[in-house]
Amino acid sequence: MTHESVVPPRRVWTREETLALFALPFNDLLHQAHEVHRRHWDVNAIQLSTLVSVKTGGCGEDCKYCGQSGHYDTSVEATRLMDPDTVREAARKAKAAGASRLCMGAAWREMRDRDLARVADMITAVKAEGLESCVTLGLLTAAQAAVLKEAGLDYYNHNIDTSEEYYDQVISTRTFKERLDTLHNVREAGLKVCSGGIIGMGEGRADRAAMLTTLASLQPPPESVPINRLVPIPGTPLATVEQIEPLELVRTIAVARLLMPKARVRLSAGRTSLNDEAQALCFFAGANSIFYGDRLLTADNPVEEADRMLFAKLGLRPDEIQPVQ
């Protein structure tokens, strides 16, 4: 028995249509997702990003998944904002290891004008090393986004995390609308958008469908879509939540690929708990980007050698590093 494609011939998706994709038989969903992936991308090339925490801990947000929140008793120690020279050295190491993008994360609720010049210097330093640049700095005003664009920033990351309906079960210190407003400011400044979410926080499949529908409905959709599997952090309210099964992660990536064919779909946090077979399914389903290096802000990540061995097994290769613009 064959199953006809349920991918509608348009770019506007409803939640019901997205949920119908999640409900497809696994093989049918992967087949459709891989066909779309192959149509738009080199399926054997993976973009490598390295993530650096330029300001760790002490965040005023109460995100229930985050070890950097000042609301919870975790082992994360707060640090000051990193200096640009240190960031430049991190960029050099990342490029030497094969990464093509350096992502810089700061643990605070919002970008503050007093830190804007230093962050701009970090971006300039990263670009000088021949890497793409990305920052995640919390809420961002239109004026701040314009300054970051002028400094040479390529991507701004601001995840919506989950569905609008489930959002207040995870965060109370910033609204879902504030996240969308920041993404609007980023886009208006001419920056590329990196935005995704986290699965396995106790939400249902309908919430995952709603999250992806929201992202796909942005005009235009994000160029980069990180899909994170919750990493339970001791001391946070979600520390003991039951982990979502890997096949649901694969389904989520496949649906993201169908909804956003031209986006980089990044297999992000949670890879340390996946075996090679599960990661291979994620790549087949449409993931074509990973975080590369042994740390994700405060969470562990597979070491570079493990990723190189996995790539060799699967016949994958890193995307070429882009030249300095």
* Residues involved in catalysis: 59, 63, 66, 103, 134, 194, 266
Helix (H, G, I), strand (E, B) or coil at 9: coil
Kindly state the tokens that stand for 157: 């990351």
Torsion of CA 121, 223, 94, 111, to 10 degrees: 30
Going by DSSP bridges, is the β-strand pair 317-318/45-55 parallel, antiparallel, or unpaired? parallel
Number of Cβ within 10 Å of residue 248's Cβ equals: 15
Tell me the HSE value of 39 on the side-chain side, using a 13 A CA sphere. Answer: 11
Question: 110 pairs with which residues across the strands?
Answer: 139
Joined tokens for residue 243: 């982990």
| Percent of the chain as helix, strand, coil, to the nearest 5 | 40, 15, 45
Give the largest Cα separation in the chain, rounded: 62
Q: Contact, 291 vs 301, CB < 8 A?
A: yes
Instruction: Return all residues near 205 (Cβ < 8 A) that are at least 6 apart.
Output: 19, 22, 248
